[in-house]
Amino acid sequence: MKILVTGGAGFIGSHITDRMIELGNDVVIVDDLSTGKEEYVNPKAKFFKVDITDTEALLKVFRDESPEIVAHLAAQVNVRVSMTNPDMDARINIMGSLNVLKGAIECNARKFIFSSTGGAIYGEPENLPVSEKAKENPLSPYGLAKLTVENYIKVIAGLNDLKYTILRYSNVYGPRQIVKGESGVIALFTQRMLEGKTPVIFGDGSHTRDYVYVSDVVDANVLALEIGDGMTYNIGTGTQIDVNEVYEKLEASLKSGIKPEYGDEIPGEVRHIALDCDMIRRETGWSPKFDFDIGVKTTIEYYREIV
């Protein structure tokens, strides 16, 4: 089948593209390379350097390529940027997403898979790990934009007989994470430590996150090709790990001898989050295969080669 992947030159999108091609699919990539990298583009994919906010250019790709499946990952993904520039965040994450959704409908795509966020949509949940039934309470424009797009998808897909699956990721990490645009602490800390620079921990380091390895996220996207119609699934591990522990595990492997600096907390970022993934486990059999220690080891090996 033909699959169009927006953000296919980015961290998660490039891994999804690679797997889809391995499975024998034709893949079309749309990416403006604002945070993605051209070297991440699979040579077997058809690549279009197009911004999803460029309506006419984007719709031309959809009309020319007529994908059966649309996997939408292109986004402004930095919570901190959304706090300082909510207009830009909304333009990309809401209006750009509506363009992608319009393209899927115009070309009569069969399925729309949306990469959303579980880390920013729920806010500060009353209970952890948090399930899909919990109240959404985003604390940042980024989380609000993702939730808004989820609701647009449900309404517009329903009006146009378009199947969809929404995947709410926890904190994804692994090889190819792009420090410039995504600021994942594992990638950021690893790169800085390998370069002999001091990592900065915002707050006291007690903030917890649910870290899910990128290959496990790819597995969920593969399952969504054929199942999970009309569903919203959390994708994570259900386990909380604080930032201090992340640093300690990295330092145990890297042995840099560098101690972190501590800075002010970032407004709009949740203190504690972990995702309950029982629903997708029950309905599809998906579960994370990579534990944190193995995932960190693999990630460090990747950055050792490129730094």
pLDDT number for residue 294: 95
Share of the chain above pLDDT 70, in %: 99
Kindly report, residue by residue over 133-156, the tens digit of the pLDDT: 999 999 999 999 999 999 999 999
Query: How large is the average pLDDT for residues 100-119?
Result: 97
Tell me the domain boundaries of the chain. 2-172+212-235, 174-209+239-306
Alpha-carbon span 198 to 200, nearest angstrom = 7
Model confidence band, residue 173 (pLDDT cutoffs 50, 70, 90)? very high
Model confidence band, residue 199 (pLDDT cutoffs 50, 70, 90)? very high
Angle at 255 between CA 249 and CA 257, to 5 degrees: 105
Instruction: Report the topology of domain 174-209+239-306.
Output: UDP-galactose 4-epimerase; domain 1 (3.90.25)
Alpha-carbon span 233 to 131, nearest angstrom = 9
- Which strand (E) or helix (H) includes residue 24? none
pTM beyond cutoff 0.85: yes
pLDDT number for residue 70: 98
Q: Which residue in 296, 43, 260 sits closest to 184, CA to CA?
A: 296
Question: Quick one: how far is CA 294 from the chain centroid?
Answer: 20
Structure-derived torsion over alpha carbons of residues 226, 146, 292, 23, reported in degrees to the nearest 10? 30
pLDDT number for residue 159: 96
Number of separate helices (H) and strands (E) present in the chain: 12, 13
pLDDT at residue 181 above 70? Answer: no
pLDDT number for residue 183: 57
Asked if 2-172+212-235 and 174-209+239-306 have one fold, the answer is: no
Kindly write down the DSSP assignment for every residue of 116-159, as one continuous string. EESTTTS-S-SSSSBPTTSPP--SSHHHHHHHHHHHHHHHHHHH
Kindly report, residue by residue over 49-70, the tens digit of the pLDDT: 999 999 999 999 999 999 999 9
**Amino acid letter, 249:** K
Dihedral pair phi/psi, residue 61, rounded to 5°: -60, -45
Q: Which residue in 58, 10, 8, 13 sits closest to 28, CA to CA?
A: 8
pLDDT number for residue 267: 80
Query: How large is the average pLDDT for residues 282-290?
Result: 97
Residues pairing with 164 in the sheet: 112
In words, the CATH class of domain 2-172+212-235 is: alpha beta
pLDDT number for residue 184: 86
Angle between helices 292-306 and 185-194 (to 10 degrees): 40
Query: How large is the average pLDDT for residues 183-209?
Result: 92
Model confidence band, residue 203 (pLDDT cutoffs 50, 70, 90)? very high
Query: How large is the average pLDDT for residues 218-242?
Result: 97
Catalytic residue among 142, 211, 233, 303: 142
pLDDT at residue 282 above 50? Answer: yes
211 is catalytic: no
Lowest pLDDT segment from 47-56, 155-164, 180-189: 180-189
- Count of residues making up the chain: 307
